[in-house]
């Protein structure tokens, strides 16, 4: 996974807001959303009442019993606070970004263009869908919209963090603008496409704050499991009380509450929400806004990844790769002619030809003189060639095979016999042949290649090891598509693809029960983005694409879908690992509390007191303290996630059982014993 600038895990502001948040979340109406911790809160209230009225359940009335109840109540209270604190930290890590975004939501005055051509000043919050506004250099774009006239650069750093302005113009995939960004040059006429309070910026703020976060399907399923386990243990403990009473074994009510709290899955119950929020936060650190937690979670289940070729797998611009002279022409002569033809060519292709020629030691001593004294012939769709007319009458051209061939033949030159084979050689490799001509005499071919981004082959291999299939979609011909597919290492490709082809392949994969992810930025990508389980739209793309997708990449980097998939996998791994640890914890705590409860009345139970704890009271208090302390100790893992490594489901299960299952069993034995060694003498002094 690519490195990102890591935010501080916790700072003073996050700590302060998290502590306040932990207390605010004590509200029973909020706590009931987390049934496991709600049971702990009910137990806490019950034990507090027992502390105040120790004989209300017919329990003993000695002062020591009141003190014991108070200690249990305090530990339960701390347990609830720690669980709330974990969730508050997860929420707090998004506060800084939210504040930054809110700063852009200043009251903006907009210049509205009316149908009769007059201009009216309005506040941004008064704008309606369909209003046309004029925004000039230095002014803030008042709300989301589409450029309908003009061309300008826009500073989107308030949202993306990137300082380089982005060119926005009418039509194409760079016509959408976001409210709160600033026009840095020229002017734009913008049609407003969102209502006040419903802009992309508003949605981002709500999502990062967690106001719009809903539990995901997997989270709901796990919650159901936790609730089921809680109910089972409640029933067990409730039936245990009359049974022990019948056997004339006295067990304090506070001890039974402690037993419930230690046996129900409080660890994962306290961390579950934090894990989900942290997953969205990790995506946000990559400058990707997830429209829901379900989108992030779906990334972890992705089976098929659909990627565009241009801009995703390849750079999108063709670069000069090789000079291929015809027979009888020296390579240096061809390189010099290609260099001359590109001296005033500002296209990426022209610059790459100059760069390659320089690497091959072209004679460039007279560059400035040639530029100053020659006439630049720009490329046109009519001639399909460009070049240079020099002062001495020499004419250099480079262009499409047919155009150069026809011009040479019309001038009375014979087409070189090996020219067609060179052109075919380049085309068969998926490249673009540019033919070079000097005074109507053909010299050779420039091999332009759409370069595959470095490292993609290894990354696709990594995805393959995760069980994810990659499919490349391109409008290129099958020959070019096959070449790029082989070089990049994708599993399959669709050549000459149209928007409906993308939808078809998504539906075909989904019909087999697979989860599909894809990227896109244009209006024609919107249907496919909506159909995919995970649709990642580029922020530079159209509003239609962003509305259809469930994720938006603020950096407009199509390859980021790979990182997003890995974050989704990491989220599921983290949740699975901590659930395994939590349940294993409960098993270990059983051996601390059950023997402690019963071994005074049933001496045979002392055989199960394998930890040799100081006393029954010390055992229960130590187990409760460990149960509370383990939650904040696991917060860093919940926030940062379990380290991601591609592996099969069976291997992942074995690792979780070995590391977190075995660790979850061992940790309580060590932790409870250490706490017992420290708390035992203190409890003895207190007469407990």
Cα-flanking dihedrals φ and ψ of residue 32, to 5°? -65, -15
Question: Of the residues 59, 131, 202, 308, which is catalytic?
Answer: 308
Q: Is the backbone of residue 51 left (phi > 0), alpha (psi -120 to 50) or beta?
A: alpha
Architecture of the 292-313+453-554 domain: 3-Layer(aba) Sandwich (3.40)
Angle in degrees, 0-180, between the axes of helices 616-640 and 266-285, rounded to the nearest 10: 20
CB 546 within 8 A of CB 530: no
Give the count of beta carbons closer than 10 Å to the beta carbon of residue 120.
11
Q: Is residue 525 part of an annotated ligand binding site?
A: yes
Max distance between CA atoms of the chain, in angstroms, equals 118
Q: Is residue 398 part of an annotated ligand binding site?
A: yes
What pLDDT was estimated at residue 200? Answer: 66
Tokens of 15: 């700590």
Q: Is residue 528 part of an annotated ligand binding site?
A: no
What pLDDT was estimated at residue 395? Answer: 92
SS3 category, 146 = strand
Give the count of beta carbons closer than 10 Å to the beta carbon of residue 29.
6
Instruction: Name the nearest CA neighbour of 151 among 124, 128, 172, 130.
Output: 172
Strand partners, 167: 153
The mean pLDDT values, 10 residues at a time, for the chain of 688 residues are 46 78 89 89 90 68 76 92 85 59 62 86 82 88 86 73 68 72 86 76 59 62 85 85 76 85 87 79 78 77 84 75 91 92 85 91 85 86 84 90 90 88 84 89 90 82 84 80 86 83 88 88 77 83 76 78 83 86 84 73 70 81 91 87 72 80 88 88 80
SS3 category, 385 = strand
Q: What distance in Å separates the CA atoms of residue 603 and residue 624, rounded to the nearest whole number?
A: 23
Instruction: Name the nearest CA neighbour of 635 among 219, 268, 212.
Output: 268
What pLDDT was estimated at residue 442? Answer: 92
Q: Is residue 345 part of an annotated ligand binding site?
A: yes
308 given a catalytic annotation: yes
CB 252 within 8 A of CB 61: no
CB 588 within 8 A of CB 651: no
Start-to-end Cα distance in the chain: 53
CB 480 within 8 A of CB 374: no
Cα-flanking dihedrals φ and ψ of residue 243, to 5°? -65, -45
Tokens of 160: 């993306």
Q: Is residue 385 part of an annotated ligand binding site?
A: yes
For 605-643, b/e burial (b = at least 16 CB within 10 A) is: eeeebebebbbbbbbbbbbbbbbbbbbbebbebbbebbe
Q: Is residue 397 part of an annotated ligand binding site?
A: no
* Contacting residues for 301 by C-beta, under 8 A, at least 6 apart: 515, 533, 568, 572
* pTM beyond 0.75: no
What pLDDT was estimated at residue 280? Answer: 74
Q: What distance in Å separates the CA atoms of residue 445 and residue 437, rounded to the nearest whole number?
A: 9
Instruction: Name the nearest CA neighbour of 448 among 558, 562, 584, 349.
Output: 349
What pLDDT was estimated at residue 252? Answer: 81
Q: What distance in Å separates the CA atoms of residue 621 and residue 601, rounded to the nearest whole number?
A: 19
Options 2.70.150.10, 3.40.1390.20, 2.40.30.10, 3.50.50.60; which CATH number does 107-207 get? 2.70.150.10
Fold: same for 292-313+453-554 and 328-447: no
CB 573 within 8 A of CB 642: yes
Q: Is residue 676 part of an annotated ligand binding site?
A: no
CB 602 within 8 A of CB 249: yes
Tell me the C-alpha to C-alpha distance, in Å, between residue 339 and each of 224, 360, 362, 391, 433: 69, 11, 8, 16, 16
Architecture of the 328-447 domain: 3-Layer(aba) Sandwich (3.40)
Q: Is residue 243 part of an annotated ligand binding site?
A: no
* Cα dihedral 535→536→539→542 (10° resolution): -30
For 400-430, b/e burial (b = at least 16 CB within 10 A) is: bbebbbebbeeeeeeebebbeebbeebbebb
Q: Is residue 476 part of an annotated ligand binding site?
A: no
Q: Where are the domains of the chain?
A: 12-97+216-285+569-686, 107-207, 292-313+453-554, 328-447
Q: Is residue 450 part of an annotated ligand binding site?
A: no
Q: Is residue 521 part of an annotated ligand binding site?
A: yes
What pLDDT was estimated at residue 383? Answer: 81
CB 339 within 8 A of CB 353: yes
Residue 398 host element (H or E): strand 395-399
What pLDDT was estimated at residue 104? Answer: 52
What pLDDT was estimated at residue 73? Answer: 92
């Amino acid at each position: 996974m690519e490195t990102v600038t890591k935010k501080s895990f916790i700072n003073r502001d996050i700590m302060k807001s998290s502590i306040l948040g932990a207390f605010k979340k004590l509200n029973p109406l909020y706590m009931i959303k987390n049934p496991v911790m709600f049971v702990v809160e009910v137990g806490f209230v019950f034990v507090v009442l027992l502390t105040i009225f120790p004989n209300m359940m017919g329990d003993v009335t000695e002062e020591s019993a009141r003190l014991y109840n108070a200690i249990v109540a305090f530990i339960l209270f701390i347990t609830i606070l720690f669980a709330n604190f974990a969730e508050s930290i997860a929420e707090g890590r998004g506060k800084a970004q939210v504040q930054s975004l809110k700063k852009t939501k200043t009251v903006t005055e907009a210049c509205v263009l009316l149908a009769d051509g007059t201009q009216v000043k309005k506040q941004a919050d008064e704008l309606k869908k369909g209003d046309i506004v004029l925004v000039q250099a230095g002014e803030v774009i008042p709300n989301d919209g589409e450029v309908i006239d003009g061309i300008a650069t826009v500073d989107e750093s308030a949202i993306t963090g990137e300082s380089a302005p982005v060119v926005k113009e009418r039509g194409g995939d760079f016509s959408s603008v976001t409210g709160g960004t600033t026009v840095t040059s020229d002017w734009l006429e913008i049609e407003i496409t969102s209502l006040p309070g419903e802009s992309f910026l508003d949605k981002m703020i709500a999502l990062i704050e967690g106001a719009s976060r809903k539990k995901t399907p997997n989270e709901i399923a796990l919650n159901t499991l936790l609730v089921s386990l809680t109910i089972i243990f409640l029933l067990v403990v409730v039936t245990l009380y009359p049974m022990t009473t019948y056997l004339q074994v006295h067990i304090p009510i506070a001890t039974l509450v402690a037993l419930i709290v230690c046996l129900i899955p409080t660890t994962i119950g306290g961390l579950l929400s934090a894990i989900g929020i942290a997953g969205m936060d990790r995506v946000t650190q990559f400058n990707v806004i997830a429209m829901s937690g379900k989108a992030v979670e779906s990334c972890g289940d992705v089976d098929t990844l659909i990627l565009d070729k241009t801009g995703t797998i390849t750079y999108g611009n063709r670069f000069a790769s090789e000079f291929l002279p015809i027979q009888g022409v020296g390579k240096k002569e061809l390189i010099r002619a290609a260099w001359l033809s590109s001296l005033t060519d500002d296209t990426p292709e022209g610059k790459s030809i100059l760069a390659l020629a320089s690497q091959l030691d072209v004679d460039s001593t007279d560059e400035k003189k040639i530029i100053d004294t020659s006439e630049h012939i720009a490329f046109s769709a009519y001639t399909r060639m460009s070049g240079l007319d020099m002062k001495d009458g020499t004419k250099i051209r480079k262009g499409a095979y047919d155009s150069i061939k026809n011009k040479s033949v019309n001038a009375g030159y014979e087409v070189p016999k090996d020219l067609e084979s060179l052109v075919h050689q380049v085309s068969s490799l998926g490249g673009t042949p540019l033919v070079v001509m000097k005074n109507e005499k053909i010299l050779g071919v420039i091999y332009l290649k759409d370069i595959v981004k470095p490292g993609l082959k290894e990354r696709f291999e990594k995805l393959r090891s995760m069980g994810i299939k990659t499919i490349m979609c391109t409008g290129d011909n099958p020959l070019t598509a096959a070449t790029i597919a082989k070089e990049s290492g994708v599993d399959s490709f669709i050549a000459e693809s149209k928007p409906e082809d993308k939808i078809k392949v998504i539906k075909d994969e989904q019909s087999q029960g697979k989860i599909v992810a894809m990227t896109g930025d244009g209006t024609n990508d919107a249907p496919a983005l909506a159909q995919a389980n995970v649709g990642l739209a580029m922020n530079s793309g159209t509003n239609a694409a962003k509305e259809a997708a469930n994720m938006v990449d603020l950096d407009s980097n199509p390859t980021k879908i790979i990182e997003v998939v890995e974050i989704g996998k990491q989220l599921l791994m983290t949740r699975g690992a901590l659930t395994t640890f939590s349940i294993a914890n409960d098993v270990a705590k059983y051996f601390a509390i059950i023997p402690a409860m019963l071994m005074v009345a049933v001496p045979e139970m002392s055989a199960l007191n394998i930890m040799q704890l100081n006393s029954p009271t010390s055992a229960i208090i130590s187990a409760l303290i460990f149960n509370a302390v383990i939650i904040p100790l696991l917060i860093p893992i919940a926030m940062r996630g379990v380290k991601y490594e591609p592996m099969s489901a069976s291997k992942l299960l074995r690792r979780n059982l070995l590391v977190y299952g075995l660790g979850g069993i061992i940790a309580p034995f060590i932790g409870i014993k250490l706490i017992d060694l420290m708390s035992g003498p203190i409890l003895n002094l207190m007469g407990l």
